Amino acid sequence: MDSPVSIPRAVVPSVVFLRSEIPEAHPTTPVLGNERMGAGVAVGPRQVLTAHYLVIGASQAVVVAGDGRIREARQVSLDHESGLALLTVDGPDLRPAPLGRSAQMRPGKPVFLLTCTGEQERKGASGLVASVGPFEAFWEYMLDEAIMTTVLNPGLAGAPLFDYDARVVGIVSLGLAAVGRYSLAIPVDLFLAHRSILEGNTERTQPRAWLGVYPQGNDGAVAITGVVPGGPADRAGLAQGDLVLSVDGQSVTSLRELYRAFWRKGPGEPLDLQVLRESQIRVVHVVAGDRYDFYK
């Protein structure tokens, strides 16, 4: 641990170990497994913020704070757009960590990550913000202001990223393989913007269209590397190896363009994808699905 002692001392009580169990039949189990472990951070006396893929489809989820007590989650709220999840837990009150503003993060800003390696062990590491900017992933996911850091995560995902005033500025979701960019954090401003929805106080707006594809962008082209079994793209006949040329007549050359074309529609609406397959151009008609319903 190579940060000022005051930061871990202040935030250790807020960082929790997370364990979830997912039914074998859930569509995420073949990829993510049915037992998942991670970290999270208390953002309210009975609220824990973490990465959503750790708890998608969970039939049971528990957190263990620094006091060693097990607290069961009685509600799990997902935000597929940001990649965050908010757990409401029973048991003794947790100590919430103060929340900062990720909009204030700039390259060169010092940051500190504190995570779990087990129920009672916490590990930390410090580093700098490498960049703040666009990020696209192959599971129909995109951020406009992802926080890339030089911090190498010493433990589990879902951990909080703190600024040097010990305020949460992000949730560490992924490890990166780029030189000088070792971890990616979801900006906490997305949680602040969606908090009322996650807490159930505000009705969710219409979700984005979801097709259930795994696209990869490279050299000005977008290829389908796989489809979610039983998802809209699978039912429509999109296949691994299809090269996507356009969506509803608009050409796409990158993941960002592809997702923006998808998200102009909502669940239940049709999309026509022009694809190149085995040297032939075809149009595949897909009726968009609702990711919240599919993965509930």
Within-domain flag for 234: yes
Residues 60, 119, single domain; the answer is no
Report pLDDT digits (tens) over 18-39: 999 999 999 999 999 999 999 9
Within-domain flag for 197: no
Give the pLDDT band (50/70/90) at residue 132: very high
Write down the pLDDT at residue 290. 97
Within-domain flag for 127: yes
Within-domain flag for 159: yes
Domain ranges, residue 46: 6-89
Within-domain flag for 196: no
Give the pLDDT band (50/70/90) at residue 175: confident
Report pLDDT digits (tens) over 266-296: 999 999 999 999 999 999 999 999 999 999 8
Where a domain ends, among 27, 56, 89?
89
Alpha-carbon distance values, 293 to 78, 159, 200, 231, 268 (Å): 11, 27, 17, 11, 12
Within-domain flag for 202: no
Give the pLDDT band (50/70/90) at residue 1: very low
Alpha-carbon distance values, 27 to 137, 166, 219, 227, 294 (Å): 19, 37, 31, 12, 8
- The verdict on pTM exceeding 0.75 is yes
Q: Structurally, how many domains does the chain consist of?
A: 3
Supply the CATH number for residue 131's domain: 2.40.10.10
Supply the CATH number for residue 220's domain: 2.30.42.10
Within-domain flag for 174: yes
